[in-house]
């Protein structure tokens, strides 16, 4: 019943089928094999977040470069973009080490994250102290800060994607946090200088340096994403203080006359340093921080991840036994499963060290590779967190995880759009799911609630062309437990294009012994009135085409047609794929056809 090929006589159908077979022969003659037995971490996570590591100028050798090319797509300078490395006296700037790193990164197609502009540590005295070590005044320190950030963030503009603008500004607090300024690090030399001359009657305090730093950074490099970065970000008081500060300063920025882009936040991202131990903190605390930071309206980077074996001040261990490696790997697996669950808001995960020897916490063997660069259990855990947990008899989070899909990846600017969103969190009993259109953290549609796993996002007028996302948030009660996103392109007005094509299919994952049906909606905007051909083909694990169904229809300019095709799936479905092709069948007899859209693959 799906072979609605009413336009064909049988001779045409045979030659068409031949054409199809020949085309598939060309497509799949060369099997694509995994080139390496040691898969790329960055590839595994490419749809979720950037994956990074750190480097120093004396490590730009071939071995390290190969390792980066294989596993990472973003780099942070471990030390050489810190203030003391760049400027040891007022007016004196030395970018040579940082340049070496940036040139290396550019040559290898690796993005650079800037670390760090304003910090109490690894920074030169001139910024905030006199020669005799007495603090500068608030206004002197402010001027120096502006000069430094202008010079440095200005110099690296276009070369870094993001900056840790302020690093580690909190210390020594406890719950409840009522005013975040009272739990900032008051012995930071920046705080001390800013307090020197602060008019407390006007509400000024030493903590004001934080806001200034972000404003100066925005002005010096408007294209960089600005991050606030801190450690022990899983402590309840610090989580709260960080979130409150971000909310407060972003609110303040809304009314700042220097704000020329009201849609954009000042502090756009929180960096969770994530210097963990296998025994501390519990992974659930990490999750609570992710949830709180999402609520604060910013994205997240996991900026300096390492998981030392044991606990703080516990016995150190430079060679882990297999069992210890597994324990550490399980912690990594839990973390990465969770990062994936919230990947709509996590933009980058950077490991703080290439291997256990090259680690600032080498005594705790905290990384994915051992001292000889060999993969540890932790590496395999990061590669496949759910699989790793199951292998060790543990229940993976992914069993309860949210899977999402939509019926389209493009809509047209200015036109109405109806997007079907499916979400499934199979084993969570009672949950609520909402979906909305988003770009750079800003909502472009209402929030639509899903009922029975499906909703329709009705958008009366799609916004201007660009790269958007459909964000899907899942809650149990009022607690977010997953947040995923699907990319969505909004294209220019369709009058420029010949066709608009949307493809939907069911079921969303190939299921044994079930009917598979694809529906392709085609609107022809201009061109000749020629038939459009849809082919749905099933391939087995050896890439042999074992079933095919096709349909063709004439579509006149201005018309939309729905083309359905499908077949029963076999009982043995493992490793099979369905590919859906849409062709412009200008001359089917001579097989002069051109593809109208990307091939959709269903696994
Ligand atoms: C560390 C480096 O890894 C060491 O080489 C250096 O001696 C000290 O700093 N938080 C940060 C990083 O933001 O800059 C620190 O890096 C680790 C803690």
197 and 137 Cβ atoms separated by less than 8 Å: yes
Task: Provide the pLDDT for residue 57.
Answer: 98
Ligand 1 atom with minimal separation from the 167 CA? 13
For the cut 80, the answer to whether the pLDDT of residue 398 exceeds it is no
Give the integer Cα–Cα distance in Å for 474 and 294.
13
Q: What's the CA-to-centroid distance between 122 and ligand 1, angstroms?
A: 9
pLDDT band at 11; cut points 50, 70, 90 = very low
Mutation to probe ligand 1, out of 78, 351, 367 (largest number of atoms < 8 A from CB): 78
pLDDT band at 285; cut points 50, 70, 90 = very high
Task: Provide the pLDDT for residue 32.
Answer: 35
Give the integer Cα–Cα distance in Å for 379 and 280.
20
Lowest mean pLDDT among 245-249, 398-402, 554-558, 589-593: 589-593
Give the integer Cα–Cα distance in Å for 269 and 299.
5
**Pairing outcome for strands 410-412 and 346-351:** unpaired
Give the integer Cα–Cα distance in Å for 469 and 467.
7
Task: Provide the pLDDT for residue 556.
Answer: 82
> Looking at residues 166-174, what average pLDDT do you find?
97
> Of 418, 480, 350, whose CA–CA distance to 55 is shortest?
350
In the numeric block, the tokens 């294989």 are attached to: 70
Rounded to the nearest 5 degrees, what angle is found at the Cα of 556, between the Cα atoms of 555 and 561? 40
Task: Provide the pLDDT for residue 496.
Answer: 60
Mutation to probe ligand 1, out of 52, 360, 361, 364 (largest number of atoms < 8 A from CB): 360
For the cut 80, the answer to whether the pLDDT of residue 495 exceeds it is no
Question: Is 360 close to ligand 1, i.e. is its CB under 6 Å away?
Answer: yes
**Pairing outcome for strands 269-272 and 299-308:** parallel
For the cut 90, the answer to whether the pLDDT of residue 468 exceeds it is yes
Residue with more model confidence, 298 or 402 = 298
Residue with more model confidence, 150 or 29 = 150
pLDDT band at 257; cut points 50, 70, 90 = very high
Task: Provide the pLDDT for residue 13.
Answer: 42
Ligand 1 atom with minimal separation from the 229 CA? 13
Question: Is 84 close to ligand 1, i.e. is its CB under 6 Å away?
Answer: no
DSSP codes, 316-374: --SS--HHHHHHHHHHHHHHHHHHHHTTTTEEEEEES-SSSSS-TTGGG--SSB-TTSP
Task: Provide the pLDDT for residue 566.
Answer: 93
Give the integer Cα–Cα distance in Å for 217 and 194.
18
Mutation to probe ligand 1, out of 75, 79, 118, 356 (largest number of atoms < 8 A from CB): 79
3-state SS string over 83-133? Answer: HHHHCCECCECCCHHHHHHHHHHHHCCCEEEEEEEECCCCCCHHHCECCCC
Catalytic amino acids?
Answer: 168, 230, 304
For the cut 90, the answer to whether the pLDDT of residue 588 exceeds it is no
For residue 19, the SS3 value is helix
Reported as a single tens digit per residue, the pLDDT across 343-388 is 999 999 999 999 999 999 999 999 999 999 999 999 999 999 999 9
Question: Is 167 close to ligand 1, i.e. is its CB under 6 Å away?
Answer: yes
* 3-state DSSP helix/strand/coil % of the chain, to nearest 5: 30, 30, 40
Average pLDDT, the chain: 89
Region at 579 (left for phi over 0; alpha for psi -120 to 50; beta for the rest): beta
Q: What's the CA-to-centroid distance between 94 and ligand 1, angstroms?
A: 20
Ligand 1 atom with minimal separation from the 353 CA? 3
Residue minimizing CA distance to atom 4 of ligand 1: 360
> Looking at residues 230-258, what average pLDDT do you find?
98
Question: Is 301 close to ligand 1, i.e. is its CB under 6 Å away?
Answer: no
Give the integer Cα–Cα distance in Å for 442 and 469.
10
Residue minimizing CA distance to atom 15 of ligand 1: 78
For residue 550, the SS3 value is strand
Lowest mean pLDDT among 11-20, 111-120, 321-330, 546-555: 11-20
590 and 17 Cβ atoms separated by less than 8 Å: no
> Looking at residues 498-523, what average pLDDT do you find?
87
Give the integer Cα–Cα distance in Å for 552 and 581.
12
Reported as a single tens digit per residue, the pLDDT across 21-75 is 444 444 443 333 333 468 899 999 999 999 999 999 999 999 999 999 999 999 9
Task: Provide the pLDDT for residue 206.
Answer: 98
Residue with more model confidence, 205 or 313 = 205
Rounded to the nearest 5 degrees, what angle is found at the Cα of 55, between the Cα atoms of 50 and 60? 115
Question: Is 377 close to ligand 1, i.e. is its CB under 6 Å away?
Answer: no
Q: What's the CA-to-centroid distance between 318 and ligand 1, angstroms?
A: 19
Cα 140 to Cα 126, 194, 196: the distances in Å are 10, 9, 10
Q: What's the CA-to-centroid distance between 77 and ligand 1, angstroms?
A: 10
Reported as a single tens digit per residue, the pLDDT across 412-460 is 887 878 898 888 776 666 778 889 999 988 889 999 988 877 888 888 8
Question: Is 356 close to ligand 1, i.e. is its CB under 6 Å away?
Answer: no
pLDDT band at 507; cut points 50, 70, 90 = confident
């Amino acid at each position: 019943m799906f072979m609605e090929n009413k336009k064909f006589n049988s001779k045409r159908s045979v030659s068409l089928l031949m054409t199809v077979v020949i085309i598939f022969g060309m497509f799949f003659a060369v099997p694509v094999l995994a080139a390496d037995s040691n898969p790329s971490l960055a590839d595994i996570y490419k749809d979720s977040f950037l994956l990074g590591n750190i480097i120093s100028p004396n490590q730009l050798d071939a071995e390290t470069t190969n390792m980066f090319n294989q596993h990472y797509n973003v780099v942070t300078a471990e030390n050489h973009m810190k203030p003391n490395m760049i400027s040891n006296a007022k007016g004196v700037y030395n970018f040579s080490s940082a340049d070496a790193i940036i040139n290396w990164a550019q040559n290898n197609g690796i993005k650079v994250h800037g670390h760090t502009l304003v910090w109490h540590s690894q920074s030169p005295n001139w910024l905030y102290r006199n020669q005799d070590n007495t603090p500068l005044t608030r206004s002197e320190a402010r001027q120096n800060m502006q000069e430094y950030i202008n010079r440095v963030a200005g110099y690296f503009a276009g070369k870094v994607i993001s900056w840790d603008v302020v690093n580690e500004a909190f210390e020594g607090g406890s719950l409840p946090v009522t005013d975040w300024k009272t739990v900032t690090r008051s012995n930071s030399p920046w705080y001390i200088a800013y307090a020197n001359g602060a008019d407390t009657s006007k509400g000024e305090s030493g903590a004001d340096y934080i806001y200034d730093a972000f404003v100066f950074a925005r002005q010096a490099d408007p294209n960089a994403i600005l991050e606030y970065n801190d450690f022990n970000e899983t402590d309840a008081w610090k989580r709260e203080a960080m979130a409150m500060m971000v909310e407060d300063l972003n609110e303040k920025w809304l009314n700042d006359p220097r704000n020329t882009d009201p849609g954009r936040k000042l502090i756009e991202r929180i960096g969770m340093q994530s210097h963990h131990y296998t025994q501390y903190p519990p992974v659930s605390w990490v999750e609570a921080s992710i949830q709180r930071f999402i609520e604060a309206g910013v994205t997240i980077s996991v900026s300096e991840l390492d998981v030392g074996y044991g606990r703080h001040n516990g016995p150190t261990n430079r060679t882990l036994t297999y069992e210890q490696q597994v324990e550490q790997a399980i912690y990594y697996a839990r973390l990465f499963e969770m990062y994936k669950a919230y990947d709509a808001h996590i933009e980058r995960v950077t490991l703080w060290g290439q291997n256990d020897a090259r680690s600032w916490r080498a005594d705790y063997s905290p990384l994915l590779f051992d001292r000889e660069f060999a993969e540890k259990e932790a590496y395999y855990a990061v590669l496949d967190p759910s699989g790793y947990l199951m292998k060790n008899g543990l229940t993976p989070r992914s069993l309860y995880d949210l899977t999402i899909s939509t019926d389209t990846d493009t809509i047209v600017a200015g036109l109405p759009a109806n997007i079907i969103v499916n979400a499934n969190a199979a084993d969570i009993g009672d949950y609520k799911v909402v979906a909305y259109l988003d770009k750079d953290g800003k909502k472009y549609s209402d929030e639509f609630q899903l009922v029975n796993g499906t909703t329709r996002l009705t958008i009366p007028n799609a916004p201007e062309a660009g790269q958007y996302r459909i964000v899907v948030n899942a809650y149990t009660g009022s607690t977010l437990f997953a947040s995923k996103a699907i990319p969505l392109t909004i294209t220019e007005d369709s009058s420029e294009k010949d066709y608009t094509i949307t493809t939907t299919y069911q079921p969303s994952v190939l299921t044994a012994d079930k009917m598979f049906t694809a529906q392709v909606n085609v609107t022809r905007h201009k061109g000749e009135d020629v038939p459009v051909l849809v082919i749905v083909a099933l391939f087995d694990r050896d890439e042999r085409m074992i079933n095919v169904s096709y349909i063709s229809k004439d579509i006149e300019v201005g018309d939309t047609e729905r083309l359905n095709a499908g077949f029963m799936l076999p009982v043995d479905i493992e490793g099979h794929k369905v590919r859906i092709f849409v062709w412009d069948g200008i001359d089917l007899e001579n097989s002069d056809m051109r593809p109208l859209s990307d091939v959709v693959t269903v696994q």
